[in-house]
Amino acid sequence: MSELRITDTNSVNDSKGRAFGLEGNDFIYVLIAFVVSLGAYLVFAFLFRVGMAVALMFSVPVLVAVLAWVLLFRHNKPEGYAEDFFDDLVNGEGWSLSAPVSANSPQKESHAQ
């Protein structure tokens, strides 16, 4: 015991964990959407007595929308990716490697005299 053995390990803050192939708590959104979709199907099919196709037409988009959100904007993406993506869409501004040219810039010459 005279020598301290050091090993590389993953600390708890390095990994959020995985469930059903999704990192962190992303599976909870899909699970809740599945339950809501199944509940909506049962309400439409058995309580309102509509056809199976109509019940599916109203219940499946809930699951598909949440699953698409998780897979496109949360799965294997950095923290805050969705917020940055929609902020960029709304503001129309993003980051760029080239500096913006301002009105007082020497790159723009004014010929008005």
Q: What is the pLDDT of residues 13-55, one digit of tens each?
A: 666 778 888 888 899 999 999 999 999 999 999 999 999 999 9
pLDDT: is 64 or 10 the higher one?
64
* Per-residue confidence (pLDDT) for residue 65, from 0 to 100: 97
pLDDT of residue 101: 62
For 54-99, the pLDDT digits (tens) are 999 999 999 999 999 999 999 988 888 888 888 888 887 656 556 5
Task: Tell me what pLDDT residue 50 has.
Answer: 96
Please give the Cα distance from 82 to 73 (Å, whole number).
Answer: 5
For the whole model, what pTM was predicted? Answer: 0.66
